[in-house]
Structures are given as structure tokens and as C-alpha cells.
Structure 1
């Protein structure tokens, strides 16, 4: 099992505000670049606007961040989802997304603090389970935080790409 640094002091990890929206978008680009995903030039503004809107209007959305200088070193986002109830499962579930740490701030336990804060917030909101999609490099951290492999298979549908002219 991987060994990670001790959890960051709680006062360093705080809940994001709308003023953090552009930095949340920037850190999302850090995450997407690590996944080798292309990011279009105008996308950063769109993402910043989306984060700002969610932080202002969505009570089922929370981001937790570690400040660094005038920006952010790390973040994690939690989304609360309402599902139809089924036997043995509560209708509220959580999703952890957009976990990112600037390369120069890695290996300080910042992602651990942010993910733990998101997990705790989702549980406080009533989430009976929390899902996430790990990268190969983050899998050990999530296992260490108590996440396990999901036995329920998931599938994804996407529309086909537009036909070339």
C-alpha cells in the first residue's frame, strides 16, 4: 500500500467561494492535461463561468481548496445526486470530481485534504455512497481513503462525432 503524507491541517483546506471559480477552472486544466485531454482556448472562460454558477446557485455542489499565494494549490469537487430509491440504498449519492493539484505543490497531502473534505461534506448532506473515477496515479490515495472498486458496472453513451463535410 502507498504511504501518503499526513493530512494537511484543517485550517488550510477551505470551502471554495465564487471568487475561486477561475482558479478551479485552471486546476481542472491541470487535471485534464495530466490525462492528455486537449483543452480549447476559450474553454477556460466557459469552465470558470460554470464553476461560478455552481458555487452561487447549486446547493448540491461544493468545492474544497488549498490556497497558495494568490491562487490555489489543490482542489476537489463534490456533487450530490438524487437517485430513485432502491432496497438497501438511500436515494442520495455523491460524486467526487475535478481533483487536481499543481505539480509544484504535489506530495504535501493537499489532494488528500480536499478529497477528505468533499467526502465529509457529501456524507453530511446524506450521501449513502460516493463515486469517483481514479487515475492510475491517484488510485492508491483513494484506496487509502476507504474507496473500493465498484461492483456495479457502468456504461457511458456519447453521441457520434459530426460527419466531415
Structure 2
């Protein structure tokens, strides 16, 4: 340590609330007002930690409620980017930017003494003037960066000016060489009947409450292989594991329904299974195969999608627009097959 006093910097949190607008994704911004720093500039709803008892997610949820009136479930808070910022005056801080796409309530001005406007703006038509620190966080977020540095120089304007843009993106781990751990997998590909055994295994091992025995694994494999044939009702996308077998899969079943304005072709798709091998988790594989499957089903004219989600998987499906309907109750009836044990 170079001195006798340990250097500390404040931590703040920023809400990147995203919704789908008429022309594409939009972000919620508020305009600062009154006797505050950067009055008159647009900024993300944000704030500081209240103390050592508060983590950054709890702080984001609290600040969102205090500034916009909406309530956010901590499970709906997703890490966007972290920015190390230095203001023109020389003070520095670390900002955690969080993406939120689901909340309860309608955003409104809750602190009129420090905010005089609030609204939704397309990412490609952000308002001016905007706090340069906020703009740096949004630009880093849109670039897909995990961490960025934004050190302004004395004399730089507080508001964003492209002529004095100090944003520097820090390259992610793996950009200089392969990450430690399992080797990278390939891009998602359409499943073939030959993949049926692996898809059935992943579903049995990691989705079903009671794994299938050997006999039922064979029965399900043969059924799925037939249904993955051209003209069948099964569609699936998979990721191959470098060591053999599958790293992840997403299986959908297409079935007819009576046409309606929201599904004019009378086609519905049930997302039957999304599973990833434990050794390949937390690398975005489930998201990749699900995205590929949904894109394919949409290309076939499917506009109604259904699934049963666990609490752990619900946030992933929420990213793709799936919502729960408390007015609907899931009910099942299983007729005991003749000759089977009760």
C-alpha cells in the first residue's frame, strides 16, 4: 500500500429499465433538476448504497422504488456492466449498471424536487443533454462489455460530448485466449433423429422429478426420433459438447389449435424441454438453444408458445417474453394405463 490511508470510492447503482417500443427497445430516463449535480441533464434512475448492510441489488431495487415508484423483484435484476468513473472535478466512483425488463407498476416522478421529467427513449435516439457518465454506461452496455473505464479530464463537460468521449471498454476474459475449464462448444444446430437419445437423456437427468428407467429411455428415444423426422411434430436445437454427446438442448412440440387473431395459422408450440449439462452451465448455452428454437418456430408461423417453468428457469423465459397469468390454473389428469402399477 502506497500510503497510510486506504483509498476508498463510493459505489452507486443504475437502473437500465428496458421495454419494447413501437420502433424497438426503449430505455427509461429521468431529467435531473433542482440543487443537484448535472441539473438539466438526462440520466438513468440511480443512487448510492445506504450503508454496509445493503448490497448492490438491494440498493437498485430500493432506488428504483424511491425514484420511479415501480417495484422490482431482485430475481429480475440482471448484471449489465460495471463502470469505473472519474468526474471532471477529479472525484471517482464505481457504478453498477443493472438491466431490468420486468417490474410492477408504471414509472412516474416520485422526487419532483430533484427530477422534472421522465420518459422512454429508443436507444438510437437518446435525449440531450445527457450526463456523460450515464451515456458511458449505456454505450458500454450496448457494446456487450462487462466492465468499462470512464475517466474524464479536468475541463471536460459534465454532459456527454462525442468530442470528449473518454469511454474505454475492458476486454472480457477469453478474448486473449481460451478460458480455463470445458472447451468451447459450437453454435446451436437443428437436431436430427440421431440426437434423440441424448435429448431424452438430458430431459430425464435434469428436468424430470423422477428420471426414466432404461426401458422408458428407449421408448422415449424411439418416439422422439420418429417425431424429429421430416413431417413430424418435434423441433429441437442442440449444442454439441467437445467431448461427445450434447452440452445443451431445447425441444419444442408443434400442435394445431383453432385459429384466432393472435395465432392466425392455428399453430401452437410447447417448449417441452430446455436442459444443459452441469459442466457447461453458466455460459449462455440454454439461452442460445432456446433462441434458435423460438426463431425456427416463428419462421413456421407459430405465434402461440406455451411451457411449464420452474422457479429457477422462469427468469430465462421472461427474457424471451414469456409471462405468467395468475388467472390461469394448471390442471392435469392422468388416466392410469391398463396393466401398469398404481
Same fold (TM over 0.5): yes
Q: Map Cα deviations across residues 11-53 of structure 1 (whole Å, 9 max, x no partner).
A: 6100011121111111111223xx4324223111112111211
Structure with more of its chain in strand, by fraction: 2
Partner of 1:127: 302
Question: Would you say the 8 A contact 2:226–2:232 is kept in 1?
Answer: no
* 2:185 aligned with 1:110: no
Please state how far the C-alpha of 1:126 moved relative to its aligned partner.
0.7
Q: Which runs of 5+ in 2 are unaligned?
A: 1-75, 81-143, 145-183
Q: Distance in 2 between matches of 1:106 and 1:17?
A: 23
Using the TM superposition, give the Cα deviation of residue 125 of structure 1 relative to its aligned residue in structure 2, in angstroms.
0.9
The structure 1 residue matched to 2:250, chosen from 76, 83, 89, is 76
After superposition, the C-alpha distances for 1:87-122 in whole angstroms (9 at most, x for unaligned) are: 554211111111111111111111101111111111
Deviations 1:39-95 (A, max 9, x none): 223111112111211112544321100100211010011121111124554211111
- Identify the residue that residue 272 of structure 2 maps to in structure 1: 97
Aligned to 1:46: 219
Unaligned runs of 5+ in 1: none
- Please report the RMSD computed on the Cα atoms of aligned residues, expressed in angstroms: 2.8
| Bigger mean CA offset, 149-158 vs 51-60 | 149-158
Matches of 1:144 and 1:113 in 2, distance apart?
A: 12
- The structure whose residues are more often helix, as a share, is 1
TM-score in terms of structure 2 length: 0.42
Confirm or deny: 8 A CA contact 1:76 1:96 kept in the other structure.
Answer: yes
CA contact 2:237–2:249 (8 Å) conserved in 1: yes
Separation in 2, partners of 1:131, 1:78 = 10
Quick check: 1:4–1:109 contact (8 Å CA) kept in 2?
A: no
In the TM superposition, what is the alpha-carbon distance from 1:161 to its structure 2 partner? Answer: 7.7
Counterpart residue number, 1:3: 78
1:62 aligned residue: 235
Inter-partner Cα distance in structure 2 for 1:129 and 1:114: 19
* Structure 1 residues 13 and 89: CA distance shift in structure 2, 3 A: closer
Q: Please give the secondary structure, in 2, of the residue aligned with 1:116.
A: helix
Runs of 4 or more consecutive aligned structure 1 residues displaced over 6 Å after TM superposition: 161-165
SS across alignment from 1:114: helix
Q: For residue 160 of structure 1, report the CA deviation from its aligned partner.
A: 4.8
Q: Report the Cα distance in structure 2 between the residues aligned to 1:30 and 1:4, rounded to whole angstroms.
A: 29
Which residue in 2 is equivalent to 1:139? Answer: 314
Query: 1:2, 1:141 within 8 Å by CA — same for their partners in 2?
Result: no
Structure 1 residue matching 2:258: 3-state secondary structure: coil
